Structure 1
Amino acid sequence: MSTQQTRPPGWLSKSHKHGPSWLRQVRLRFLRWRAAIHRNPQASFVYKWCVGTVGGIVIAGGLLLVPLPGPGWLIVFLGVAIIASEFTWARDLLLWGRALLHRWTQWLGRSHWIVRVLVAGATCAFVLMVVWGVLRLIGLPDWVPDQFVPGWLGFE
């Protein structure tokens, strides 16, 4: 039996040999520290609770940013990745999300150019509607000159 089969997944895989040496050392130190944490049940519980809390806060912040222009879904996936470092169900969710995103991009890449233009146009229209709604809710900033705001937008 080789040593590769007896190692836990991700502990010392081939990926640890790539990248700068200082980064490999930091990664190995972190993995050893985390293994030491998990040997103590109380410390492991606190560590998992902290990881879950931080990941949950990142996910909540990402969900707040989803309807706004910007990286909302990317932040949600980052929060799930944080939680996935300690919880199997989150790892499964992350893998499912990655597979879904991959299938979507593959489908969009195989689609006719008209479909891609329609998807891009619908995305742009949605973002513009959200920005318009937010500006209607909070009002235009004072630095926006009146001559650049058409009357049909509803800003008076």
Structure 2
Amino acid sequence: MKGRWHRWRAHIAATPSLNLAYRIAVGVIGVLVLAAGIVAIPYPGPGWLIVFTGLGILASEFAWAHRLLHFARERYDTFMEWFSRKSFVIKGVGVLLTSAVVVATLWLLGTFGLVGTWIGLDYSWLESPL
């Protein structure tokens, strides 16, 4: 499979315009996945996995993304090791901050106002300020 991939990629690289189009497509897809991951970081779920996937897509074509991927993974692993050694109180503060980000985002996006109207709650403070 790896040999077939290299042959296919070499075929694309042999044609400059096709190679440029391929690199642009990889760049656009990688940036979109990376941006989605960055947005998802503060929420429960696979935010960092999406970030690393986006960087991996970019790293398949760009050396700077390859270096950034290794740098980010090292920093992430270091932080998670540090965080796992912390007390229950510090971990609880992390959960509270994450919850605050989620609630604030849902409020700003108008989710509480929308759901409130479904169940008959029509309070002005539930509405988004945006």
TM-score higher than 0.5 here? yes
Query: Which of 30, 46, 54 is the matching residue for 1:79?
Result: 54
Opposite residue 144 of structure 1, the aligned amino acid is W
**Same amino acid, percent of matched pairs:** 34
**Secondary structure of 1:154's partner?**
helix
TM-fit CA distance, 1:30: 1.8
2:96 aligned residue: 121
2:5 aligns to what?
30
Q: How does 1:6-85 map to 2 (within 5 A)?
A: 25=1, 27-38=2-13, 40=14, 42=16, 43-65=18-40, 71-85=46-60
Aligned to 1:101: 76
Superposition deviation, residue 99 in structure 1 = 0.8
Greater length-normalized contact order (CA 8 Å, ≥ 6 residues apart): 2
Task: Indicate how the Cα distance of structure 1 residues 108 and 72 shifts in structure 2: closer, same or farther if over 3 A, else same.
Answer: closer
Which consecutive unaligned segments of at least 5 residues does structure 1 have? Answer: 1-24
CA RMSD of aligned residues (A): 3.1
AA matched with 2:125: G
Asked which structure has the greater CA Rg, the reply is 1
Contact 1:69 1:131 in 2 (8 A): no
Cα separation, partners in 2 of 1:49 and 1:88, compared to 1, 3 Å: same
User: TM-score, normalized by length of structure 1?
Assistant: 0.64
Count of residue pairs brought into register by the alignment: 126
For the 8 Å contact 1:68–1:131, the answer to whether it is kept is no
- 2:63 pairs with one of 72, 84, 88: 88
2:126 aligned counterpart, secondary structure: coil
